Structure 1
Amino acid sequence: MRWFMFDIVPVEIIHSIFDYLWMNEILNSFLNINDYLDNVILSYNDSFINFNLISRPLFYLICSRLRPHQVISLILSDSDDTPGQCQLFFSRFSIEQFNHLRALTLIDIADDSELLFGDLDKIESLNFLEITPKHYNRYLNIMPKLTRFVVNYQYVVYFESYIYINRIQLPHLRHLTLKCCSYFQLKDIFRYAPMLVSLNISIIFESREQIEIFVTVNHGKSPLTLTNLSLSIDVSSDCDRPSVIISRNHLERFLFHMPSLRQLELIVNSDGNNNLSYGDRWEMFIVERLTLLRTFYFKFKLENVYRNSQTVLCHFRTPFWLDEHRPWFVAYDLRRSLLFTVPHFAHRSIVYSEMPVLPHSTTLPIEQHALLYNMITELTFDSIKDEPDYCYTEVEKLVLIGLEINRALIDLSRVQYLSVNSSSWSLDMIVKLIRYSMPCLHHLSFNCRLSLKYSNSIIPLEQIRILQMPFFAYSTNNENFDWIQIFSRVERLSITVNSCHELAILIDRFNNISYASFTINNSCINVRRNLWEPRMTREWLVRNTRRLTTLDNNSFTCRFDNNNIFKVYLWIGEDCKQQITLLNTRARENSTNDMINGIQGMFSNNLRTNL
């Protein structure tokens, strides 16, 4: 009866709850509970829709209920998990229908998107655009009406002539992020975006001349109004690296005309001059030129450092750096030649035999060192210590290299992702470890050849939703092993197989997968089986799998990648009748606790765009 407690809650309050949720979550948690809630959903006008990593049935559910004029935030993704999603979405809707859209995020968008980007100008309300291009996109430009523009490349690229700025006034632009910005673009950015207050850029230099142009980009102009700057600098591997060194003087000259900065983040990923570590000089510059600065984060990769940790850190132990109102604590990693602020740039991933920061290598007070351990979210077990110094309380990903685990070191019940990187672990041992010690685990990866020794009594792991087996093709006796008995609820599968035939078998056996990535190991085919492989096409998949044969033409999409190694990506739904049944019963299958937990967690939801 707890389902119906919402019948007495006013519509306005329920809509206020919906304001903290994506439409995916609203439909999953509240749809088909009763007529009252269905009508409340129907009358909700401010829809935030996130199609990233979405199951195909839920994608169809949202599309069937979607009213374009009610959508104010939309995320679309053509990632390997959801290939062809954008094309499928725009076969149902045109972008012009979303006339109240304020924020649009496009993930892994292809380079053949001229029509889409050309039509974005027609949406008068659009002020936020975030794009993660799959490749170079020549149609990508900043529109004058935008207040926030973000371009995130997944890989580091260098474009000598890459232009986002059309050399027109951008009077509304206040927040700009360009991952892979060019040094000459900055002049246009500062010239045509006078209201810019937040800038996040990554730049790759190829010569000393480029650095000189960069540091003088705003000389002779009025001081900039930037209050927030994040700058990441790298040096191209193709250049004469000894002659291209980033110094403190370069950074100070660039920052000289930014007196309004309140938050500053500086990252030098390679070839940093030793003078970047002179804390007393940084102190003088900040006191004289950046008087409003309240937050200063930096991470410098230093070259040719001949001083020990204590000598490097001595200039960062002054009252200026240790001010109790805004302490800027610093650490120095001698082995990596890294100087960085903590806890902001403290390690998130660590090997157990190491320490996050050696006690004598940081200005952070020793009574706060536990904070550095609490920031570790990925831990690799490579050895066992008799007496651990601290416990890792926030580990979400655990990597196993050795055969032993120090259970006093880590709370296994919090681990969500387990990566097994040692063949010493048999499948039997892994299953028992997960079953009895890892209730929150949902992501399992076997990054090694598997030992398929298993006890007679099979223990199913219904909690596993993501399964990765890149070495599956090299494991022995895998043909006769019934994986589905253990991993019956897997929704996302990434696996290396020996043949197209093996791929087809796994599609049928893992009948709950919505996303699949198959790598076909051609070298293994030639050596072990000597099979002639057919040409993989969508039609071949339909003919050779029972599951895909039963689906209508629009119930799955696929992508083939033949760069170096052959990969197949699938995004799979259900046939029409199954899909209707699944969607109509989804809410009834959800437990009351699931719904309540979703509501309790909504206030910590940080995924929604602030509009």
Structure 2
Amino acid sequence: MNSSFESLSIELLFELFDYLSPFDLFRIFINLNNRLNAIVYSYPLRLDFRSICRSKFDFICRHLQPKQVISLILCDEYVPDRVKLFLNHFPHFKEQFLQLQSITLIEAETITFIDLPASVSSLSIRIYDVDDYYYENYISKILSQQAKVLTHLKIDSKDLYDLIDIHFPALTYLIISGGYYYDGNYIDVSVLLENIDVHSLIQQWQCFLTHLYLVIDNKIQYSTFNLDRFSHCLTHLTLHFYQEPFRSLFWLEQRHWYVGCYQDETEKGTIIYSIPRFQTRTLKYPSAKFPHMTTAPSIIEQNFFYSSRINYFSFDMNKLITPVDYRFHQVKSLTLSGSSLLSLNILSSIVDLQQVQYLDVSNINRLLPNELENLIAHTPRVVHLSMKFDPLFIIPSQIRYLLLDGLGRSISLDRLSYTISSVERLEISVASKQMIIDVIDRFNGLENLDTYFDDGDLDDDCMTIYKGVSIDWLIKHTHRLKSYDFTCRYSREFYPSIYLSFGDRRKENDHQD
């Protein structure tokens, strides 16, 4: 006899599934009975693999049916070779993911070209390396292949060269970003567009755009093109630019397109942006430049500045201006700096601590263990913690990602092994090859390990040691990597670093790639 739960309609079960992550969906419902299996495998999946841990990633890949995936985000930015790992699970991607509608590729480092099915009409590509010739060909090839069916496209302005000879007859939604934030700094890539007329380029695509997002810089040619040329088709416009002549009466009065402006942090010019389509995602607080001047009604302005999500909120507690007359309700990442920690009452009056997911306290000069423990207790959603190593502080079980700031020689692995229990990803500076071996073999609960070589950490030349730590060397000198699958990425972008992702126990006769 079926239980009352099993008798629920497919529609009700789908509504329930909407509240579950793909991992929880498969973990809870798969292999209970044939009916539930069939329902689970008919449920449309939206997969976001940007920050998921390795074990959950592998679990989902083992259980999903490609035909049920309608949206996919693949990212190599945080985990080495994640795109390659995914393609290893599904080597016939184009023939398997026949219902896929949207795909986002972020820092895809795999040398394997992703041949997309014709069903993909929405494509987003984000690659930070502007000098890599392979990626230029990669982008051009994938865009040429999908050009006839794409309705949504998001691409960096540095990649517009790859679009010059391509037509997009079905394109209605276009986002062209002008630069990007990386490690807290704005990287200006607008110089790459000096010889591109964006208006002519869009006309050449022979598309009928209804949604357009542009980041426009006064250094580039298209900072003077007339947006009224698009007024016959555009219903949604988002601009982030530096030139006031763009504020035509058509967009302000007929389309109710409001703008805000402020002096940028570098003091080089005034930035004008559209409201509410453009969002303030990064904010240094306190700031005399916030809130910005706008033409929007007060109710829209209030919601825009204080109720919208802020991804990165940096708070210098030494510069606090009192009294505080407004509160930020959706801060995702909170960075605190200063000589000491403010009271929780003051912090809570400025930021809704209940919404914070990423917490950085590494720049607080004096922070007692009980103060940090109390702060984390008031930020229940925090899973990512950046801090200086403190041998007296026990990492709370809610923390999954731990970044230890400071030199490797100041960190006691003996003490650290007793203070972390639920951490899945560890970011740490190492002082020697032996320290790398010890971290890999002693911290068996880790699924990802990011190690950095700092000149201040090493008696010998850091590059000599870095080059000596090859994949073969890691397998030879560690017990864990002899028995378990792993992926590895080396980087010298800022300083020598190695990124490791640990998988399942290796089957007999398997070999590390």
Structures share a fold, TM > 0.5? yes
Counterpart among 397, 401, 423 of residue 337 in structure 2: 401
> What amino acid does structure 2 have at the position aligned with 1:53?
S
Residues 121, 151 of structure 2: 8 Å contact kept: no
Residues 22, 50 of structure 1: 8 Å contact kept: no
Residues 120, 150 of structure 2: 8 Å contact kept: no
> What amino acid does structure 2 have at the position aligned with 1:233?
I
Residues 150, 170 of structure 2: 8 Å contact kept: yes
Over alpha carbons, which structure has the higher Rg? 1
1:391–1:9 CA distance, 2 compared to 1 (3 A): same
Q: In 1, Cα distance between the equivalents of 2:461 and 2:414?
A: 19
- 1:8 counterpart residue number: 7
Residues 426, 453 of structure 1: 8 Å contact kept: no
Q: In 2, Cα distance between the equivalents of 1:175 and 1:245?
A: 24
- 2:195 counterpart residue number: 210
Does residue 414 of structure 1 match 2:355? yes
- 1:362 counterpart residue number: 294
Shift, 1:181, TM fit = 5.3
1:366–1:182 CA distance, 2 compared to 1 (3 A): closer
SS in 2 for 1:8: coil
Larger relative contact order (CA 8 Å, sep ≥ 6) = 1
CA root-mean-square deviation: 4.1
- 1:340 counterpart residue number: 273
- 2:76 counterpart residue number: 78
> What amino acid does structure 1 have at the position aligned with 2:195?
Q
- 2:396 counterpart residue number: 461
1:438–1:464 CA distance, 2 compared to 1 (3 A): same
Q: How does 1:488-507 map to 2 (within 5 A)?
A: 488-507=421-440
Unaligned runs of 5+ in 1: 144-163, 236-240, 287-292, 297-319, 578-611
Shift, 1:517, TM fit = 1.1
Q: In 2, Cα distance between the equivalents of 1:328 and 1:185?
A: 33
Shift, 1:468, TM fit = 1.2
Q: TM-score, normalised by structure 1?
A: 0.66
Q: In 1, Cα distance between the equivalents of 2:163 and 2:296?
A: 36
Q: In 2, Cα distance between the equivalents of 1:74 and 1:183?
A: 23
Residues 557, 570 of structure 1: 8 Å contact kept: yes
- 2:92 counterpart residue number: 94
- 1:251 counterpart residue number: 225
1:73–1:344 CA distance, 2 compared to 1 (3 A): closer
Deviations along 1:469-490, whole A, 9 cap, x unmatched? Answer: 242426x3x2265123332111
- 2:106 counterpart residue number: 107
Q: TM-score, normalised by structure 2?
A: 0.77
Does residue 196 of structure 1 match 2:171? yes
Q: In 2, Cα distance between the equivalents of 1:218 and 1:560?
A: 39
How many residues in Structure 1 have an aligned counterpart in Structure 2? 477
Shift, 1:76, TM fit = 3.7
Higher strand share: 2
- 1:428 counterpart residue number: 369
Shift, 1:464, TM fit = 0.7
Q: How does 1:256-295 map to 2 (within 5 A)?
A: 256=229, 259-268=232-241, 272=242, 276-277=244-245, 279=247, 282-283=248-249, 286=250
1:504–1:39 CA distance, 2 compared to 1 (3 A): same
- 1:520 counterpart residue number: 453
Residues 306, 328 of structure 2: 8 Å contact kept: yes
Residues 391, 412 of structure 2: 8 Å contact kept: no
Higher alpha-carbon deviation: 43-52 or 345-354: 43-52
Shift, 1:572, TM fit = 1.1
Residues 24, 49 of structure 1: 8 Å contact kept: no
Q: In 1, Cα distance between the equivalents of 2:419 and 2:442?
A: 12
Deviations along 1:483-522, whole A, 9 cap, x unmatched? Answer: 2333211111112111121122222343222122111224
Shift, 1:36, TM fit = 6.3
Shift, 1:414, TM fit = 3.0
Q: In 2, Cα distance between the equivalents of 1:439 and 1:182?
A: 40
Does residue 558 of structure 1 match 2:488? yes
Unaligned runs of 5+ in 2: 179-188, 508-513
Shift, 1:568, TM fit = 1.3
- 2:151 counterpart residue number: 174
Deviations along 1:566-594, whole A, 9 cap, x unmatched? Answer: 221111134379xxxxxxxxxxxxxxxxx
Shift, 1:382, TM fit = 2.9
Counterpart among 491, 498, 502 of residue 572 in structure 1: 502
> What amino acid does structure 1 have at the position aligned with 2:171?
L
SS in 2 for 1:432: helix
Shift, 1:71, TM fit = 4.3
Does residue 390 of structure 1 match 2:364? no
Residues 379, 395 of structure 1: 8 Å contact kept: no
> What amino acid does structure 2 have at the position aligned with 1:517?
D
Residues 352, 381 of structure 1: 8 Å contact kept: yes
Shift, 1:225, TM fit = 2.9
Q: In 1, Cα distance between the equivalents of 2:163 and 2:71?
A: 29
Deviations along 1:506-562, whole A, 9 cap, x unmatched? Answer: 223432221221112245212799x9778212233234334334x34xx32222235
Does residue 330 of structure 1 match 2:330? no
Q: In 2, Cα distance between the equivalents of 1:533 and 1:227?
A: 50
